[in-house]
Amino acid sequence: DDADTWEFSDDELGDVSRKLLTLYRDKIHAEREKMHHERQIGMNVSHELNTPVGIIKGYLDTVLADDNMPDALKRKFLVRAQQNTDRLANLVSDVSMVMRLQEGGAIDYGIINFRDMTAQIAEDIAQGHIADNMTFICDIPEDCLIKGHESLLTNALFNLIYNAAQYSGGTRISLLWKGENDGMHRFEFADNGCGVDDEHLDRLFDLFYRVDTGRARKNGGAGLGLPLVHRIITAMGGDITVENAPGGGLRFTFTLPAA
């Protein structure tokens, strides 16, 4: 049927061909970028795992090679090996969680009383001496109920606290409720430390990114804490941003769905 026949001029055919070629090139480029990203993650994971493994092996090899090593020195080496074993276990757990969240793994949601949860976190901080050099200020209303996964969310908040305690150089941490809008609670987590240079802000949630590589390695940081926070918050339907606060320190603003 002539009415159903599609006819194209040479110019139109050329334009279609160019568009198809552009789409194909874009697809190839995206695939290559994805492969490069995944390869880089794999290399970083391998490197981070090898560091504590090498330390553990060094201490154990030294202990086993010296039958006459004094008990005090032997215990010191075994304690260091145990500490790095814990670090390795935590690293494996964090990598596994990041990958699961990145791949859209299923999350079981429940209703969480955010005030009760953060009160428990405050008690754990004190008992565990996690931020002894800082005052933790928490202001959450009694009726603040959110929909989420309590264990993952606790993990995210502890990572924010640990990051501030280890790297901010500040004396105060605060977690504040800033209101509810369109079914989302908004919170602000901040410290009064030194903050970071603006050039680093956009990369703080990138896997394995360190603002100060040397200092992070010395303190055991692997560049996984803040990326994990970002993935947990977004997996629960919220969002999170970070900025340098006007008075100093980092300020994270995040949202979570109201129950």
Task: Report the pLDDT averaged over residues 33-37.
Answer: 61
Q: Residue 215: its pLDDT value, please?
A: 40
User: Rounded distance, CA 175 to CA 189, Å?
Assistant: 5
Q: Per residue in 118-164, pLDDT tens?
A: 998 888 888 777 777 889 999 999 999 999 888 788 888 988 998 89
Q: Per residue in 42-66, pLDDT tens?
A: 555 665 677 678 878 888 999 999 9
150-168 burial string, b = 16+ CB within 10 Å, else e?
bebbbbbbbbbbbbbbbbb
Among candidate residues 172, 175, 137, the one with its CA nearest the CA of residue 253: 175
Question: Would you list the domain boundaries of the chain?
Answer: 11-102, 110-257
For residue 137, the surrounding DSSP H or E stretch is strand 135-139
Q: Does domain 11-102 have CATH number 1.20.140.10?
A: no
Q: Is the separation of the CB atoms in 113 and 143 below 8 Å?
A: no
DSSP state of 130: S
DSSP state of 189: E
The pTM for the full model equals 0.64
Q: Does domain 110-257 have CATH number 3.30.565.10?
A: yes
Mean pLDDT of the chain: 80
Length of the chain: 259
Structure tokens at 212: 């100060």
Q: Per residue in 57-103, pLDDT tens?
A: 888 999 999 999 999 999 988 988 888 788 777 767 766 766 676 66
